């Protein structure tokens, strides 16, 4: 019997208070599938389908990368959408530029590539996916949620499950400041 493939990604989780605040924030939109507040995160590298046997290598990569980076602060910024021009199908919340975040994401992606691990190589774009829109929408005039700061203190390997659920398979603390 073939082993079930795991759909995996590395991300930074959000603290509970920010997840809760964003879960309560809902602008008037046409029908949308909102992200579950408990699943909000900043994706660093999407790996796609992997067999369970790949986990020890991925865990080793994560441990080494986390050990090279210190905890840092991130701040939410403005709303945006994908596609970026015209009418969006995905609503997201951007983050203020962060050299520490760029360094962490770049280091993780380089370590994955060096180990021969395949991942989505599209350029890293720091954001929190808030909703998937059933019909394309212009985001002009939507009010941004209140800005918030939060600590990025651990790297997490998540498994993506049904209905937008995410299960942490491992977490590695960044070094304290």
Averaged over 96-115, what is the pLDDT?
98
Q: Which of 127, 129, 153, 157 is catalytic?
A: 127
The CATH number of whichever domain residue 66 belongs to comes to: 3.90.1140.10
Q: Given this model, what pLDDT does residue 111 score?
A: 98
Q: Which residues contact 111 (CB under 8 A, 6 or more apart)?
A: 61, 64, 65
Residue 1 lies in a domain: no
**What secondary structure letter does DSSP report for 115?**
T
Q: Given this model, what pLDDT does residue 169 score?
A: 98
> Which of the four pLDDT bands, split at 50, 70 and 90, describes residue 4?
confident
Residue 144 lies in a domain: yes
Residue scoring higher pLDDT (30 or 20): 20
User: Rounded distance, CA 170 to CA 159, Å?
Assistant: 10
Q: Which of 18, 22, 39, 41 is catalytic?
A: 41
Q: Given this model, what pLDDT does residue 61 score?
A: 98
User: Rounded distance, CA 92 to CA 125, Å?
Assistant: 11
* Domains in the chain, number: 1
Q: Which domain holds residue 169?
A: 6-173
Q: Given this model, what pLDDT does residue 31 score?
A: 82
Averaged over 5-20, what is the pLDDT?
96
Residue 77 lies in a domain: yes
pLDDT tens digits, one per residue of 50-76: 999 999 999 999 999 999 999 999 999
Active site annotation includes 163: no
Residue 52 lies in a domain: yes
Q: Are 59 and 155 in contact (CB under 8 A)?
A: no
User: Rounded distance, CA 85 to CA 49, Å?
Assistant: 30
Concatenate the DSSP letters of all residues of 70-110 into one string. B-EEEEEEEEEEESSSSSEEEEEEEE---HHHHHHHHHHHH
Q: Given this model, what pLDDT does residue 2 score?
A: 57
Q: Which residues contact 17 (CB under 8 A, 6 or more apart)?
A: none
Residue 160 lies in a domain: yes
């Amino acid at each position: 019997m073939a082993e079930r493939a795991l759909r995996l990604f590395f991300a930074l989780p959000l603290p509970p208070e920010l997840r809760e605040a964003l879960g309560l924030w809902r602008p008037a939109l046409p029908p949308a599938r909102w992200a579950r507040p408990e699943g909000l995160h900043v994706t660093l590298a999407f790996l796609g389908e992997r067999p369970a046997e790949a986990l020890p290598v991925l865990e080793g990569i994560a441990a080494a990368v986390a050990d090279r980076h210190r905890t840092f602060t991130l701040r939410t910024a403005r709303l945006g959408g994908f596609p970026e021009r015209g009418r969006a199908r995905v609503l997201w919340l951007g983050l203020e530029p962060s050299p520490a975040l760029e360094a962490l994401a770049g280091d993780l992606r380089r370590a994955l590539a060096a180990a021969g691990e395949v991942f989505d190589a599209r350029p890293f774009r720091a954001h929190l996916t808030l909703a998937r829109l059933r019909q394309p929408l212009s985001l002009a005039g939507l009010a941004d949620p209140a800005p918030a700061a939060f600590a990025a203190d651990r790297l997490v390997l998540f498994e993506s499950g049904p209905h937008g659920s995410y299960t942490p398979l491992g977490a590695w603390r960044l070094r304290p400041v």
